[in-house]
Amino acid sequence: MKVVIQRVSSASVTIDEKVVAHIQKGLLVLVGIEDSDTQEDSNWLVGKITNLRIFGDENQVMNLSVRDIDGDIIVVSQFTLHASTKKGNRPSYIKASKPEIAIPLYENFVKRLEIELGKKVQTGVFGADMKVLLLNDGPVTIQIDSKNRE
């Protein structure tokens, strides 16, 4: 699984001109799933995301997690995170999972985040044409790949 985590002052997801998710201070998490991803990958990422110390403390040092600040999270499925640009100019998405594999893992990922965060996690709609609006705070943007645990 690949995620792009963005620290936000606010974020929202709109589908067909209707806002389906909106948060203030917290994280926007874009998640891409491939066929080889497992529940173990998902669980590891949930632990990383909820404990990642990227929010400022009283001295403006990044020492606090989204959980520490009682922040919110929006999760958006993003198959394009698995784009391969190795050949030509048109990305290939062959590594991205098909919905029958990705949806259950995505839904469980969201549920695990809710358990770890102790509150509802907002989401886009898997496979929908979404408009994502965010005010990136910092900016702070971090990429994590569960297959490359550095």
CA dihedral (13, 14, 15, 16) in degrees, to 10, reads 180
pLDDT at residue 95 above 90?
no
The answer to whether 123 is a known catalytic residue is no
Q: Hey, how many other C-beta atoms are within 10 angstroms of the C-beta on 94?
A: 10
Q: How far apart are CA 103 and CA 37, in angstroms?
A: 12
3-state DSSP assignment of residue 114: helix
Q: If pLDDT is split at 50, 70 and 90, which confidence band does 112 have?
A: very high
Tokens linked to 87: 């050949």
Q: Which of 14, 38, 80, 141 is catalytic?
A: 80
Summarize pLDDT for 16-75 with one digit per residue, the tens. Answer: 999 999 999 999 999 999 999 999 999 999 999 999 999 999 999 999 999 999 999 999
Q: How far apart are CA 145 and CA 63, in angstroms?
A: 22
